[in-house]
């Protein structure tokens, strides 16, 4: 599943490839990915130019002339830039450009979403208005207080995009390991010092992952000719049965909030 670093890699690659392209028309073999009436969407986006591509958390934002298109890739959403190649089975949304190129959205599970909102209001509308701050922008006092208002595991809290944006399963495991905090700890037990350690670790993990183009693991690659290398930096995630890089204790896998979670039982008491 693409997380913040992977989405940022896609954003940078797309911006270089399709910035300033004008959309001539859109077709949708599977229209449910568009969260609004497709005919309305199709007419509204026609002849608009992609001026730039932003990102908030795991959301891509295409800034057009009059509107912003909010895109969530969900589990397996990918983009391909093509011209006149035959349409593939899982290419569900095709943006045709005046230049002759087209941008194809590929999604095997069909979980991704696209929503068109006015430029004046998109930041104040769902889903972006409910999104938490990214680690680099988070208010430490508010973060600590929000943790203590919850009664869940710290792993589940860090996955909550309303609390903190951009962290998914891979980077939460890595953040918790670097902070020496066990994923099943209750949020109410996290000290201010530990909260600071979590944010500091999350920043470092995400910065390094972005630098390396994200993590190419299982079902996710950028599909735009960019393959992440952060998987070579992973310390616990997907390392079940291997020795901890710090203490040598065997890394275990457990379920926390229904998510596969990798832990060093010695470093993370």
Rg (the chain; Cα; Å):
20
pLDDT score of 209: 86
Verify whether residue 8 is a known catalytic residue.
no
Q: What is the pLDDT of residue 220?
A: 43
Q: Residue 214: which pLDDT band, with cuts at 50, 70 and 90?
A: low
Instruction: Considering the candidates 15, 150, 259, 265, report the single residue annotated as catalytic.
Output: 259
- E-strand stretches of the chain: 23-27, 52-56, 59-63, 67-72, 78-82, 91-97, 102-106, 113-118, 252-256, 259-263
Closest CA to 265 of 257, 231, 247, 255: 247
pLDDT of 116 reads 98
The reply to whether 245 belongs to the active site is: no
Domains of the chain: 4-130 (3.20.190.10), 135-263 (1.10.8.50)
Please, which pLDDT band fits residue 269 given cuts at 50, 70 and 90? confident
Report H helices in the chain: 4-18, 38-45, 140-148, 154-159, 169-179, 192-211
Rounded to whole angstroms, the Cα distance separating 49 from 41 reads: 15
Catalytic hit among 2, 5, 135, 183: 2
Confidence of residue 20 (pLDDT cuts 50, 70, 90): very high
What is the model's pTM?
0.90
With H, G, I as helix, E, B as strand and everything else as coil, classify residue 1: coil
Known catalytic membership, residue 3: yes
Give the rounded percent of residues in the chain with a pLDDT score beyond 90. Answer: 82
Q: What are phi and psi of 205, to 5 degrees?
A: -65, -45
Nearest-10 Cα torsion for 143, 146, 151, 157: -40
pLDDT at 215 (0 to 100): 55
The per-residue pLDDT for range 95-129, each reduced to its tens digit, is 999 999 999 999 999 999 999 999 999 999 999 99
Catalytic residue among 11, 58, 104, 155: 58
Q: Which pLDDT value is given to residue 212?
A: 78
**Which pLDDT does position 233 carry in this prediction?**
77
| pLDDT(62) > 90 | yes
Lowest mean pLDDT, pick from 14-28, 131-145, 215-229: 215-229
Assign 217 a pLDDT band (cuts: 50, 70, 90). very low
Question: So what's the pLDDT on residue 2?
Answer: 75
Digit-coded pLDDT (tens) for 157-205: 999 999 999 999 999 999 999 999 999 999 999 999 999 999 999 999 9
């Amino acid at each position: 599943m693409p997380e913040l670093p992977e989405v940022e890699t896609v954003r940078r690659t797309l911006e270089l490839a399709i910035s300033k392209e004008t959309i001539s028309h859109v077709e949708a073999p599977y229209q449910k990915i568009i969260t609004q009436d497709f005919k309305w969407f199709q007419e509204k986006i026609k002849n608009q130019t992609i001026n730039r591509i932003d990102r908030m958390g795991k959301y891509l934002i295409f800034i057009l002339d009059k509107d912003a298109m909010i895109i969530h890739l969900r589990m397996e959403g990918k983009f391909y830039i093509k011209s006149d190649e035959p349409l593939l089975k899982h290419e569900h949304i095709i943006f045709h450009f005046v230049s002759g190129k087209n941008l194809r959205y590929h999604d095997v599970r069909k979980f991704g979403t696209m929503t068109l909102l006015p430029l004046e209001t998109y930041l104040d509308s769902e889903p972006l208005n409910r999104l938490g701050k990214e680690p680099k922008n988070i208010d430490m006092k508010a973060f600590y207080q929000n943790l203590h208002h919850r009664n869940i595991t710290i792993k589940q809290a860090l996955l909550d995009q309303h609390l903190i944006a951009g962290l998914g399963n891979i980077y939460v495991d890595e953040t918790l390991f670097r902070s020496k905090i066990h994923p099943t700890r209750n949020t109410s037990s996290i000290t201010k010092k530990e909260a600071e350690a979590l944010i500091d670790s999350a920043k470092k993990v995400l910065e390094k992952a972005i630098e390396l183009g994200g993590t190419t693991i299982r079902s996710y690659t950028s599909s735009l000719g960019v393959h992440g290398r952060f998987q070579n930096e992973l310390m616990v995630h997907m390392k079940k049965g291997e020795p901890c890089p710090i203490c040598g204790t065997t890394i275990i896998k457990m379920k926390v909030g229904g998510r596969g979670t990798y832990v060093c039982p010695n470093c993370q008491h």
